[in-house]
Amino acid sequence: MAQRLLDRSAAQSSLNVWEMAQSQLDDVATIIGLNQSVHAFLREPKRILTVSIPVRMDDGHFHIFEGYRVQHNMARGPGKGGIRFHPDVTLDEVKALAMWMTWKCALMNIPFGGAKGGVICDTKALSAHELENLTRRYTSEISIVIGPEKDIPAPDVYTTPQIMAWIMDTFSMQKGYSIPGVVTGKPISIGGSLGRDRATARGCLYVLNEAMRELGLEIAGARVAIQGFGNAGLHSAELMAADGYSIVAVSDSHGGVCNPRGLDVKGAIAHKAETGSVVGFRGGQRIDNRELIEYPCDVLVPAALEKVITAENAHRIQAKIIAEAANGPTLPEADDILHERGIMVLPDILANGGGVTVSYFEWVQDLQENFWEEDEINQRLRSKMVRAFKETLAQARRHNVNMRRGAYCVAIDRVAEATIARGLYP
């Protein structure tokens, strides 16, 4: 039901997600006076690969899945970005997500371009064996465009460290030797990085803490509502609760649970592990995903899918800060309403940039074959997040725009500078 609610609010938008990503670029191109040729160049992805993925299912028949790998821009380094396994994946969505990765890597100032992958599939309807077959065949099909120096995938919605391990193994078996640097978000035993599993949430917490200080808000007891209880949402709940925030509502694709006095986060995590959902957790009352967006809180963390904050619900949001752990949760028309209402939006490319930042650390460790302690990783992550927050805020102030536009100013400027420095081949 919750998924249907999310779908319905997405359908209200006039823009599809790719048009939304392009319009965000157009908007900031005007603000910074971006060179027109560079603007036209950045509006389209560099390379799109569509693959047909035949998979032998458990009953013996072949099912043909469709998948994509899109490389938006590689001016600053190899492509970087996750792989999404979801029934609603479209090529336009993957193009948008790839463009957002370009801006995210530039904002975090890590030497990568932007890329993204997706496969149209429902992981919950696949057996473990079918999921492995699908992952391996998809990897084999996209192996012509990925590699440690070319394009490095990672986890995204419904893809896990185990799936990353199959990607690493398939690519390595094809080449004949182990190549851990082809993918990040791997299990530690095969070259994964300490801290990568919680990095998205930890980075989100670091920038949220900066924003709270900036707005003069008290962290202890600040109420947080989190939509989505996957890697980003679950770990955000855990880390924010440990830092003194009060988690008043959480949800997953089945629905949610709320308690104005604060939820027992450990209990909710245990309930999800047992039953597959936070729904039915005794420590609170039932809430649906639509209600969660408007729930009384100080901080709203959308940590699921795109386009859940719309012109329709933006007027009713009660939070003072929105920290976008998900990619693309806010529609452009909603952004303007939130800005007018004085709500600070920490945009996706900033708020969830911790994931790809520790992916970068993982890739560096793999290439150097030298692994760091978790404290060192978290320290380096904090310094990159705080710097990106300050740069975003400075640009937002300089141009008198919201934080998303501020972040885009920083990112697009860096990508444009690299593009101009390299020049056009031939």
The CB-of-152 to ligand GLU minimum distance in angstroms stands at 7
Minimum Å gap between C-beta 341 and ligand GLU is 27
Which of residues 295 and 360 has its CB atom nearest to ligand GLU in the complex?
A: 360
Dist CA 231 CA 146 (whole Å): 24
Question: How many Å is the Cα radius of gyration of the chain?
Answer: 20
What residue is closest to ligand GLU based on CB? Answer: 82
Closest to ligand GLU by CB, 22 or 359: 359
Whole-angstrom Cα distance, residue 12 to residue 20?
A: 13
Pairing of strands 223-227, 299-302: parallel
- How far are the Cα atoms of 73, 121, 229 from residue 157, in angstroms, in the given order? 22, 12, 11
Binding region for ligand GLU (CB under 6 A):
80-82, 104, 154, 156, 184, 327, 352, 355-356, 359
Which CB, 234 or 297, lies closer to ligand GLU? 234
Alpha helices in 87-160 (DSSP H): 91-107, 128-142
How far are the Cα atoms of 23, 166, 172 from residue 175, in angstroms, in the given order? 41, 14, 5
CB nearer ligand GLU, residue 99 or residue 337: 99
If the CB atoms of residues 89 and 258 are measured against ligand GLU, the closer one turns out to be 89
Q: Which is nearer to ligand GLU, 186 or 405 (CB)?
A: 186
State both tokens at 260: 């104005």
Provide the minimum distance between the beta carbon of 359 and ligand GLU in the complex, in angstroms, as a whole number: 3
State in angstroms the smallest separation of the CB of 129 from ligand GLU.
Answer: 25
CB 318 within 8 A of CB 326: no
116 is catalytic: yes
Strand partners, 246: 223
Report, in Å, the least distance between residue 184 CB and ligand GLU: 5
Which one, of 410, 380, 379, 375, lies nearest residue 392 by Cα?
A: 410
> Of residues 80, 95, 116, 384, which has the active-site annotation?
116
Q: Which two tokens stand for residue 56?
A: 């032998």
Instruction: Report residue 244: phi and psi, to 5°.
Output: 110, -5
Provide the minimum distance between the beta carbon of 163 and ligand GLU in the complex, in angstroms, as a whole number.
Answer: 12
Plot region of 423 (φ>0 → left; ψ -120 to 50 → alpha; else → beta): left
The pair of structure tokens assigned to 347 is 């945009």
The Cα–Cα gap between 136 and 140 comes to: 6
Task: Write down the least CB distance from residue 258 to ligand GLU, Å.
Answer: 27
- Residue closer to ligand GLU, measured from CB, 82 or 406: 82
Residue among 303, 304, 289, 307 at smallest CA distance from 92: 307
Helix (H) or strand (E) holding 182: none
- Residues annotated catalytic, as ranges: 116
